[in-house]
Amino acid sequence: MPSERVQQLRQVELFAGLKDEALELVAKVASEETHQLGTKIFEHGAPGDKLYVILEGRVRISREVPGMGEEALAILGPGQMFGEMALLDESPRSADARVHNTCRVLAISKDAFDDLLFLHKDLAYEVLWSIVRMLVSRLRETTNKLTFLSISGKF
C-alpha cells in the first residue's frame, strides 16, 4: 500500500504518471510547510529554489502591475503545484505566491530534486517525459487562449 505522501504526490500533474517506487523517492526529499493567511511564500524576482504541492488551503499566484495593483493569475488548491519552473531553469520567480487561505504544502527543493535525478536515472527519465507532457499541454492551452483572443479582437 503506497504511503500517504505518495498518494498526495500522485494527485499532482507532474508526478501522476510515476511508479510507486519513484514517488517514494520523491516523497523522501519533500518536507511539509504551513503558511498563514496573508503571507507570501515567494515573490516575483526571488531565486526559484523550490517546487510546492498544495495539501490544504489555497494559494494565489499573482503579479504587481504598475499603476493597477495586484493581478491574480490563478488561485490554486489541494493537489495543485506551483513554483515548478524552478526545477527546470535557473531563472528568478515569474510571479508572487500569496497565501489565499492558510495552507499546508509539500516543498521540494531544487537541489534535493536535482541530486535525486542524478542518482536515479530511471526516475530522471520518467520525470523528463512527465515534464514534456505537462509543457505540451500548457502550450496547447496557451495557443487556444491566444487564438480566442485574436478571433475576439482582444489581442
Query: Which pLDDT score, from 0 to 100, does residue 62 have?
Result: 93
CATH 2.60.120.10 fits 4-151, yes or no: yes
| % of the chain residues with pLDDT over 90 | 57
Residue 29 pLDDT > 90, yes or no?
yes
Using the structure block, give the residue that is written with the C-alpha cell 487564438: 147
**How many degrees, rounded to 5, is the angle at CA 32 between CA 45 and CA 87?**
40
Query: Per-residue pLDDT tens for 99-110?
Result: 998 999 999 999
With bands split at pLDDT 50, 70 and 90, how would you rate the model's confidence at 34? very high
Mean of the per-residue pLDDT values for the chain? 90
What percentage of residues in the chain have a pLDDT greater than 70? 97
Q: Which of 14-18, 36-40, 85-89, 93-97 has the lowest mean pLDDT?
A: 85-89
pTM of the model: 0.85
Tell me the mean pLDDT in the region 62-82: 90
